[in-house]
Amino acid sequence: MLNTTLIPNRVGIKHRPEIVEKRERIGDWEGDTVYGQVDRTSRYTLCQRVWSKNKDEVAAAINRLFSSIKGRKETLTLDNGGELAAHSKITERHGIDVYFAEPYKSWQRGTNENTNGRLRRTWPKGTDMSKISKEET
């Protein structure tokens, strides 16, 4: 089983407000290490290339994504990758509550998984993203 203690101050998805499940408000995001976030209601998607899985660099990338929009940022639900261990930096910068899905239950972030599938149709896993221009993304 995954050691979720590698993520300090991890708050499980069971503590996420019920309103998030209803998909009635904009501002409840899901994320993954494809370095994209998708709003659960509008499906508005933010993506960015990140060359490292360093937790601080990943948090900085997510912060850049959220800084690029004026819209609502209520919650962010993530998987349990160690590269997301600096999630407190996202909360500090944007006031967004971060929750983590249960290990091996990717369907708890289904919108995000669906979006990743769409991205993978264009850029399959293993694609050398260094050869893809910023304009193509």
Q: pTM of the full predicted structure?
A: 0.78
Q: Is residue 85 part of a domain?
A: yes
pLDDT band at 133 (very low <50, low <70, confident <90, very high): confident
Residue 42 has pLDDT above 50, yes or no: yes
Structure tokens at 16: 């996420």
Q: Is residue 36 part of a domain?
A: yes
Question: Whole-angstrom Cα distance, residue 38 to residue 11?
Answer: 20
Q: Is residue 130 part of a domain?
A: no
The enclosing domain of 109 has a CATH number of: 3.30.420.10
The length of the chain in residues reads 137
Residue 32 has pLDDT above 80, yes or no: no
Number of domains in the chain: 1
Q: Is residue 106 part of a domain?
A: yes
108-132 tens-digit pLDDT: 998 888 888 888 888 887 777 777 7
The residue range of the domain holding 71 is 7-124
66-83 tens-digit pLDDT: 999 988 899 999 999 999
| φ, ψ of residue 130 in degrees (nearest 5) | -70, -15
Q: Give the whole-number percent of the chain exceeding pLDDT 90.
A: 53
Report in angstroms the alpha-carbon separations of 37 from 5, 10, 40, 75, 89: 23, 19, 9, 11, 16
Q: Is residue 129 part of a domain?
A: no
pLDDT (average), residues 97-103: 94
The rounded mean pLDDT for the chain is 87
